[in-house]
A and B are shown apart, each in its own frame.
Chain A
Amino acid sequence: MEHKELNLLNEALGFHNNNLYGRFVLVEDTVDTTAAFVLHQILKHSFSSHPSSSVIFLALSHPFSHYDRILRKIGCNLAAQRDNKRFFFIDMLMLQFPDEGKPNDVGFAAVFEKIESVIKALPQDNTKFVTIMIDDISFLQVAANGSSNDVLDFLHYCYTLTSEYGCAFIALDHKDIYLNEEKPAIISEMEYLADILVKAEPLATGLAKDVHGQLMVLHKQHGISPVKIHNFHFKIKENSIECFYPGTKI
């Protein structure tokens, strides 16, 4: 029954033909509607996408125990995957660059180097099935003391990994923290860069008991595959998420 409920999301993200490899997926959410469940779903699916796939997870907002607990509820054992060297958890909860006296870009370069070295350490054939996830980008900005240029440089380098190794690169960011800025924000720059855009927004009609928000998944044109937009509503339940077309919630 869990599969049926999440069918729409799986289909929209293109799990059935491994659509995410070689692409940058940007997940945007707001305070009212969190899209963390999208990350969890992609995380769970990346292990089943290929027998030798692996995930590099840059955690800036929650510790390992948080993800372990949540993924266990949806049927995925992160601790086991970590022991099998398929899940690399890079804990960056205490990340703060200027503190150590080093400039921002040196700090970010070091983080990037760490990611690249993990990929390079994998067997040659497996480098094509790596998924890199960042949760989330707003904390990178905090670590860089607000310098969006350094964060964008870092994201660019992560993006080059998608073309160099064919990795999937997934990042979560919050749209409403940029609302008051006059200067164009990181989020616009990333929207240009993204191949797949997943946006979670509250309903235009306000809060509701049965529908927690709406999700829009946009696949930009990539080679010969055409533009595709999926729109549906979702409800967050205790152990899973239910996705349905607007108006079809029973």
Chain B
Amino acid sequence: MAESICRSLRDGALEGELAPTLTIKDSLASPFSFNVFSHILLQLSSQKSQSHGIVIVALSRSPSFYADFLKNKGVELSSSNKWIHILDCYTDPLGWKDKARKSGNVNVVSDQISLATSSYKSVKDMDKLFLAITDLGRGLVGENKVRFCVAIDSLSKLLRHASLQSVAGLLSNLRSHDQISSIFGLLHSDLHEERATAALEYMSSMVASVEPDHHSSENCLSEKNFTQGKFSVRSKRRNGRVRETSEKFKVEAEGISFASISAEDGTTVAGLLPKVQFNLQLSEKEQIDRAKVVLPFEHQGNGKPIQIYDGRRSLEESSGEGAPISRCKNEDSALGEIIYFRDSDDEMPDSDEDPDDDLDI
């Protein structure tokens, strides 16, 4: 549940415990991890939590994007530099623009952003990144026991710039830092090998997966897949138990909204029937009439032997093999009876199984 994730992140870490970490995972079929990420960011910015500040490590969106986003959602930005700080790894992650400026070819264009931003130009160095994040965080909340939260714009981008070991090391260091309250980041699962995704999932206390409603084998894109889908959360509790929940989500202009999966949305038999111009279902009367139909090879129980014509009268006297069940009954009627249990009584009409499968001819 999206609400419970936000609550866990807001509650933060206990003394001596690793900080709760959330990984939001998606794929090209339903690429909405950033919508979930920004939703959580908004929740943490606007509600009381253990953390007194947020450090956003921005790799795939510009700082001005975050400033506009928070402003549009009504977050007051004038006092924001007391509780939010962006580590800008988007504008110049490898220092190319810096080098161009040093060689005197390009003029500096200063950007007016309403959020406190520090640029970071060595995104391939995870140790330096860790120091930058923690310095920024301490700058926001001070040196005491006060904690801050870390939001990583894209773990996928980090994995592209550095090895899995160093990214895992970074996450591990962040989790064990005693001033970090919680961490959340997003990951595109189809950009990495399975072991990379698995390693990061293992290090997270909560994994939220964004999936399309229906998995299709072809690469068909429908507008439906691009506005809604399934949101599954797997969270590890403190006592070691793992809890899995699922919700539906819908992406609208205002943002992302979550709703629980209700009974009507589960596929029912009626839902599976194709929409054609003739009626494929049976009415009540039709079902009763159908139950009354006398079927061949079945005893009606009125004591009389039933003669069923099988087209082989000429062989009746001479051979006894290949006889239908009723003939056996003729011979044994004095000694016993054959009780025939219909297996197909348990099945609904129109089920896929061939009713003639039971016959023993």
B partners with A: yes
Distance in Å from the Cβ of B337 to the closest Cβ of chain A? Answer: 60
**For A188, what are the chain B residues with a Cβ–Cβ distance below 8 Å?**
28, 188, 190-191
Determine the distance from Cα of A160 to Cα of B111 in the docked complex, in whole angstroms: 13
Please state if B107 and A120 are interface contacts (CB–CB under 8 Å).
yes
Please state if A229 and B100 are interface contacts (CB–CB under 8 Å).
no
Please state if A113 and B226 are interface contacts (CB–CB under 8 Å).
no
Interface 0/1 of B218-248, CB less than 8 Å to A: 0001110011000000000000000000000
Determine the distance from Cα of A116 to Cα of B99 in the docked complex, in whole angstroms: 13
Determine the distance from Cα of A189 to Cα of B93 in the docked complex, in whole angstroms: 17
Determine the distance from Cα of A113 to Cα of B107 in the docked complex, in whole angstroms: 12
**For A153, what are the chain B residues with a Cβ–Cβ distance below 8 Å?**
93-94
**For A226, what are the chain B residues with a Cβ–Cβ distance below 8 Å?**
227, 252-253
Q: Which B residues, 100 to 151, have Cβ-Cβ distances below 8 Å to chain A?
A: 100, 105-107, 109, 111
Q: Contacts A160-B91, A184-B190, A188-B190 hold; do A116 and B223 have CB atoms under 8 A apart?
A: no
Determine the distance from Cα of A164 to Cα of B160 in the docked complex, in whole angstroms: 23
Distance in Å from the Cβ of A97 to the closest Cβ of chain B? Answer: 14
For residue B64, CB closer than 8 A to chain A, the reply is yes
Determine the distance from Cα of A174 to Cα of B251 in the docked complex, in whole angstroms: 30
Number of chain A interface residues as a range? 20 to 34
Please state if A156 and B93 are interface contacts (CB–CB under 8 Å).
yes
Determine the distance from Cα of A188 to Cα of B107 in the docked complex, in whole angstroms: 34
For residue A218, CB closer than 8 A to chain B, the reply is yes
For residue A250, CB closer than 8 A to chain B, the reply is no
Q: Contacts A113-B100, A116-B106, A192-B191 hold; do A105 and B65 have CB atoms under 8 A apart?
A: no
For residue B324, CB closer than 8 A to chain A, the reply is no
Residue in A closest to B60 when the chains form the complex, CB atoms: A193
Which of B62, B93, B94, B227 makes the CB contact (< 8 A) with A227? B227
Which of A156, A160, A218, A223 makes the CB contact (< 8 A) with B226? A218
Residue in B closest to A183 when the chains form the complex, CB atoms: B193
**For A221, what are the chain B residues with a Cβ–Cβ distance below 8 Å?**
226, 251, 253
Determine the distance from Cα of A208 to Cα of B99 in the docked complex, in whole angstroms: 52
Determine the distance from Cα of A193 to Cα of B28 in the docked complex, in whole angstroms: 11
Please state if B191 and A189 are interface contacts (CB–CB under 8 Å).
yes
Other contacts beyond A160-B91, A189-B191, A221-B226: 15, CB < 8 A = A105-B96, A113-B100, A116-B97, A117-B106, A120-B107, A120-B109, A184-B191, A189-B160, A192-B28, A216-B221, A225-B253, A226-B227, A227-B226, A227-B227, A229-B222
Residues of B bordering A, CB below 8 Å? 28, 31, 60, 62, 64-65, 90-94, 96-97, 99-100, 105-107, 109, 111, 156, 160-161, 188, 190-193, 221-223, 226-227, 251-253
Residues of A bordering B, CB below 8 Å? 105, 108-109, 112-113, 116-117, 120, 149, 152-153, 156-157, 160, 163-164, 183-184, 188-189, 191-193, 216, 218, 220-221, 223-229
Could you give 28 example pairs across A and B, Cβ below 8 Å? A112-B100, A113-B96, A113-B100, A116-B97, A116-B106, A117-B100, A120-B109, A149-B160, A152-B160, A157-B97, A160-B91, A160-B92, A163-B62, A163-B65, A184-B190, A184-B192, A188-B190, A188-B191, A189-B160, A192-B156, A192-B188, A192-B191, A193-B60, A216-B221, A225-B253, A226-B227, A226-B252, A227-B223
